[in-house]
Amino acid sequence: MQDDSSDFEGPTRRDYIKYGGALVGSGLLAGCIDGDDFQSTTTETDSTPTTTRTTDTSTETPTEDGSYSVSTVPVGEVSFESVPETWVAENASWGDMGVALGLEKPSAVVLTGEYRTWAYEDIPSLSTDKEDMTSLWQDGISKETFLDIDAGVHFIDPNYMINLIPNWKRADVTEMADRVSPFCGNTNFSTYPWHEDYPYYSLYEATEKVAQVFQRMDRFEALQRLHNETISGIQERLPPESDRPDIALLSPASAEPKKYYPYRLGDTTAYKHWHDLGVSDAFEDSNIQSFTSDRGTIDYETLVEIDPEIMMFYTDKYWTRSEFRETYLSFLQGHNVANQLSAVKNGEVYRAGGMYQGPIINLAKTERAAKQLFSDIFDQDERLYSRQRIADIRNGDI
């Protein structure tokens, strides 16, 4: 068996970085700055903060010269002389928001490997290619990389840069905003110790901000209608909430795991599809903390005590259904403790995908999860959302 430290298969595997005495995954955050006007939330705490939804949806009317401003949290008002032509996204959540609005993929993300494009495969005229996309993370993130890309806007929270990237300070983010373009985003997909009183955007609140920056509100409104209609249609077919399963969200520490990084079913955008399907957290009545809060692990003995109905694995790459089952389920069925788990006995161990999702990835993940959890209701070949409608919206055919 390979050593866990060199074979971590979870969503924060690559390029773990030591910063401020804490082990921090470079691929678990996102966020915006124009000048110095942003809240630097750097307070460390051992408790998981309460999610606070923002209600700010304001944008200013463009002036006669074409300039305009967009108000975002936690940054404040961000000004643009004209609609940006190029852009950078911290991760696939923000990247997918722009793509859903008809933009080309961002010029860069922190790690291109964590931008999974499988959801684009059957969207007409939408390529899955990431060949021209740059990874900002190159054994750290340098100012030179931002200068070379020269993007028109950065959907990255400055608090992400100063809390998680080595050697970055508030003045460095301000310098890049002044020399290149504004930073504007929100770390809305997960909770972190420095998130005390953090103002989270919902998935569509964040997408609306991207639409305001790129002046594509018509597409945003069409996307939101498609989402609402799709989710309502799925929910109408679901069994009563009392008959819906509990799920254990886990990240295996290797392809043959001895331990797991647990995730609690939180309120951030990473868990939107689970909430829309009305499932519950298998760890709800336990003292197990989410990996994003305390970096802890659990073993098989703990899992046997809880005995979740269904186990969902976050992994650091995209697996086909057959690859996943041949790798993980086969191992678990042959393990002398894991094979005692109800989920393993019943073959109820599935791919959870990654943490990131914008409008397109969310619909794809919701469809897949519905088929995984309610296979007696949703046929495996059934399409639960319109790929053609997404293509039409992207093209401006509202």
For residue 294, the model assigns a pLDDT of 63
For residue 198, the model assigns a pLDDT of 84
CATH architecture of 17-233: 3-Layer(aba) Sandwich (3.40)
- Fold exhibited by the domain 239-394: Rossmann fold (3.40.50)
Query: ∠353-354-357 over CA atoms, to 5°?
Result: 105
pLDDT tens-digit map of 94-136: 999 999 999 999 999 999 999 999 999 999 999 999 999 999 9
Whether the per-residue pLDDT at 244 is higher than 90: the answer is yes
Is the Cβ–Cβ distance between 364 and 119 less than 8 Å?
Answer: yes
The SS3 call for residue 71 is strand
For residue 11, the model assigns a pLDDT of 33
Residue span(s) of the chain under CATH 3.40.50.1980 come to: 17-233, 239-394
Six-digit token string for 68: 């305009």
Q: How many residues does the chain have?
A: 398
**Sheet architecture: strand order including 154-155:** 134-135, 108-109, 88-89, 154-155
Residue written as token pair 């009563």: 240
Q: What is the DSSP string of 157-193?
A: -HHHHHHHSTT--HHHHHHHHHHT--B-----S---G
Whether the per-residue pLDDT at 162 is higher than 80: the answer is yes
Local confidence band at 13 (pLDDT 50, 70, 90 cut-offs): very low
Q: Which residues pair with 76 in a beta bridge?
A: 72
Q: Which amino acid is at 55?
A: T
Cα separation, 116 vs 99, whole angstroms: 13
Is the Cβ–Cβ distance between 286 and 273 less than 8 Å?
Answer: no
Main-chain dihedrals φ then ψ at residue 173, nearest 5 degrees: -65, -45
Query: ∠339-271-359 over CA atoms, to 5°?
Result: 125
The radius of gyration of the chain from alpha carbons, rounded to an integer in Å, stands at: 21
For residue 176, the model assigns a pLDDT of 98
Q: What is the dihedral of CA 97, 374, 247, 368, to 10 degrees?
A: -30
pLDDT tens-digit map of 339-393: 999 999 999 999 998 889 999 999 999 999 999 999 999 999 999 999 999 999 9
If you average pLDDT over every residue of the chain, what do you get? 85
pLDDT over 70, % of the chain: 83
SS3 content of the chain, % helix, strand, coil (to 5): 35, 15, 50
Local confidence band at 42 (pLDDT 50, 70, 90 cut-offs): very low
Cα separation, 97 vs 115, whole angstroms: 12
